[in-house]
Amino acid sequence: MIVFAVYFTTIFVLFIIIILERMKNQISVKVVKANILGVKAQGMVVPQFADKMSLTGVAGALVSCGHYCGVHDYALAARQAKLPFGYSFTTDGAEGLKMLNVSVLGVPVGEAFNIMQLATYAALTEAEKCGLSTVAMPALGTGQSGSLSFKQSAKAMLSAIEVYGEQHPQSSLRKIVICLFKSESAFKAYNEVACKKNYRRYLNRELKIWNDANRRNMMM
């Protein structure tokens, strides 16, 4: 009886340790109404065109703040070979900022939701490769160059983040801040989705296409 008691106690302790480790490694996601440039993060997701750099939106704001080198390096890569939609390419901004460029501008309307999921997942993959712990992201697919509502953007991005966290329990990523530099109604719409949790139901099966697969296709 003592042997069995010790055995079950050991199993229970190990189970608790595993649960605590998983809780410790969970990625925290926060939605804020703020200018993304005002958020302290090691990496920043930057919407770009597939074949050239953008000088508006987040990219334009970064250029005005001294990060032109990172935007220019993306332009050089895009000129050499048109990057697949949903692809992420990391460049170095000023003061150690990692710019997680994602090719999402100009996507066909019917593919926008799927592409934003892929791009979000791809950006997190790049952030992990760089060993980043904090990342700031805009609401992908919205704005003048986007076709998604804020609720649709939230569903696409949050579902991709949830799956990434589940598939990478030992990820270096600890905090993701999604920034909405828009009206109060946009912030409210995004939070309506964020507060419901269980984002997996919004997943598109094509999310299985990882960033590495896109990279291999580009090199062929």
- If one counts every other C-beta atom within 10 angstroms of the C-beta of residue 18, the result is 11
Token representation of residue 149: 């509502």
Per DSSP, the three-state class of 206 is helix
pLDDT at 209: 45
Instruction: Sort 69 into a burial class: Cβ within 10 Å, 0-12 / 13-18 / 19+.
Output: middle
Domains of the chain: 28-219 (3.40.220.10)
The answer for residues whose C-beta is within 8 angstroms of residue 212's C-beta and 6 or more apart is 125
Distance CA 29, CA 176 (A): 5
16-20, 145-149, 207-211: range with highest mean pLDDT: 145-149
Highest mean pLDDT among 7-11, 28-32, 98-102: 98-102
At residue 21, does pLDDT exceed 50? no
Distance CA 173, CA 155 (A): 20
* Residue 4 confidence class, pLDDT cut points 50, 70, 90: low
pLDDT number for residue 17: 47
Per-residue model confidence as pLDDT tens digits over 132-180: 999 999 999 998 778 899 999 999 999 999 989 988 888 999 999 999 9
* pLDDT > 90? residue 76: yes
pLDDT at 214: 43
Contact 156, 122 (CB under 8 A): no
Lowest-pLDDT choice from 67-76, 125-134, 174-183: 174-183
Read off the DSSP letter of residue 34: S
Asked if pLDDT for residue 119 goes beyond 80, the answer is yes
Q: How far is CA 53 from CA 67, 89, 153, in A?
A: 13, 12, 22
Region of 197 please: left (phi>0), alpha (psi -120 to 50) or beta: left
